[in-house]
Structure formats: C-alpha cells, structure tokens
C-alpha cells in the first residue's frame, strides 16, 4: 500500500534518534533531579552558575544555546524557588546579573552525586560515551 521510500523511513533519520535519546535521557534525570526540586533545564542553569557565578542572562543564554524568551521565565521561576537573584547591572542597565543564593550554592553539594548516578543507568561503555560526546559536539559546533 505505502510506496517504498527509503529516505523517509523513520529509522534512517538522524534527527529522530537524537530527539528520542535526548528525551529519554532527560527522563532518566527526572527522578534524580526531583530530589533536588529541579527540572532538567533548571539543572543546566545551575551547572552553568556553579561553574561561574554572577553571569548575565546573555552569558547563560550563550552557554546553553537558548534565548531570553526561554530563559527569562525559567530564571524567574528559579528566583521564586530561592535559588538565585536577578538584579539589574549598574554598568549596563539593560543587562541583568544572575547570582546564586546561599541555597543555590549549597545545592551543589547534593548535586555532586547526580552525574555518577546517571552514568550507571546508561547503556554505553565509557569509550562509547566519549565517542558520542565527541560526535555531538562536532554536530553542535558545525
């Protein structure tokens, strides 16, 4: 009934396993992050800020490949959770400075266990994970 069209087969697309692997991996994080009361995108913001505190929205946006339309409400929710503060920069009134609160800083200690707990759930060898990591960054930066 359906014509042969190899190029349109779902399993042949690169996009589909990317989309699915991303979603399923995020789902693996969910129960772990729930203990920290964080969503996955919120966790990413925390990773950025734990590495370097007091960044502007655009700094975070650049690191996460996101924009203000996604980040503004995300950061507002995180402010309401008491994880960070959003203050207008003195040097440039357009810019806002995102700073971790003490609560936000302290959450890092609990978060230290997250990566290893996730690695345990993943069905890739260490070498495969490295290989995948390399290929994904090549795709992203291309």
Partner DNA sequence: TACATTTACATCGTACACGATATAATTGTA
Partner DNA sequence: TACAATTATATCGTGTACGATGTAAATGTA
What is the contact surface with a copy of itself in residues (CB under 8 A)?
A: 1-3, 5, 7-10, 12-26, 29, 40, 44, 47-48, 50-53, 63-65, 108, 111-112, 114-116, 118, 122-124, 128-129, 131-133, 135-142
What residues line the site for DNA (CB under 7 A)? Answer: 19, 23, 26-27, 30, 39-42, 56-58, 61, 65-75, 77, 86, 89, 91-96
Question: CA–CA separation, 46 vs 21, rounded Å?
Answer: 22
Q: Which residues pair with 99 in a beta bridge?
A: 85
Residue 117 beta carbon to a copy of itself: minimum distance, rounded to whole angstroms: 11
Question: What tokens appear for 111 in the block?
Answer: 């978060």
∠ Cα 35 40 58 (to 5°): 130
Residue 127 beta carbon to DNA: minimum distance, rounded to whole angstroms: 27
With respect to DNA, which residue has the nearer C-beta, 70 or 103? 70
Distances (CA, A) of 95 to 52, 55, 65, 86, 101: 17, 10, 18, 10, 19
């Amino acid at each position: 009934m359906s014509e042969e069209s190899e190029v349109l087969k779902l399993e042949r697309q690169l996009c589909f396993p990317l989309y699915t692997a991303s979603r399923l991996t995020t789902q693996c994080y969910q129960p772990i992050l729930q203990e920290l009361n964080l969503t996955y995108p919120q966790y990413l913001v925390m990773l950025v800020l734990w590495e370097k505190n007091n960044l502007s929205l655009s700094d975070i946006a650049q690191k996460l490949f996101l924009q203000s339309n996604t980040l503004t409400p995300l950061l507002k929710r995180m402010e309401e959770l008491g994880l960070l503060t959003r203050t207008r920069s003195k040097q440039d009134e357009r810019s806002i400075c995102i700073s971790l609160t003490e609560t936000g800083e302290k959450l890092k200690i609990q978060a230290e266990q997250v990566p290893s707990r996730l690695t345990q759930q993943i069905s890739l060898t260490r070498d495969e994970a490295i290989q995948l990591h390399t290929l994904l960054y090549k795709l992203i930066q291309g």
